[in-house]
Amino acid sequence: MDPTGPDSDLYRDPDEQRHIVAAMTERIERDPNDAQAYFRRGNAFSNLHQYEQAKLDMDRVIELEPTHVMAHNNRGVAHLCSGDAPAAIADLGRAIELDPTYRDAYLNRGLAYWEVNRLDAAIADLSRAIEIDPACWSAYHHRGMVYSVQGDQDASFRDYLKARALRGES
């Protein structure tokens, strides 16, 4: 299953997210070492904007499976969403160390760098995400926004057009 596709937890409604939290909590009660249950529950908490709970679950996943790349990435996103960009950068950097081809970690770390005004680093990471996946419209979209902040309107507009084309917008 595509982790970002329409069947993923990311696109489910809040009631479904709460159902996932309840179901995974039951699994965790039966087996407190079920890393996958913590991971799914953490993602549901994140989708419900309950980032502190999401971080706690990702902490547990990482405790159980220290090389779980997506847990490092997702905890980094939870840090970013809760306003702790430096912690996000650290977690996302660890995800990249574990898997240097993980597009989403570069994309997310680029956003975290942007948050702390490290614009050149943001562009480098967003560009790396594009190198890994040239069809990643979100990387073009966000890189274009960073270019705009830097005052490079030509590069910003090129990325804006590319993002629109990749999304199928005219």
Which tens digits make up the pLDDT trace of 99-155? 999 999 999 999 999 999 999 999 999 999 999 999 999 999 999 999 999 999 999
Q: Which residue has the tokens 């160390």?
A: 97
Q: How confident is the model at residue 1 (pLDDT cuts 50, 70, 90)?
A: very low
Burial grade of 85 (CB within 10 A; 0-12, 13-18, 19 or more): buried
Strand (E) or helix (H) holding 140: helix 137-150
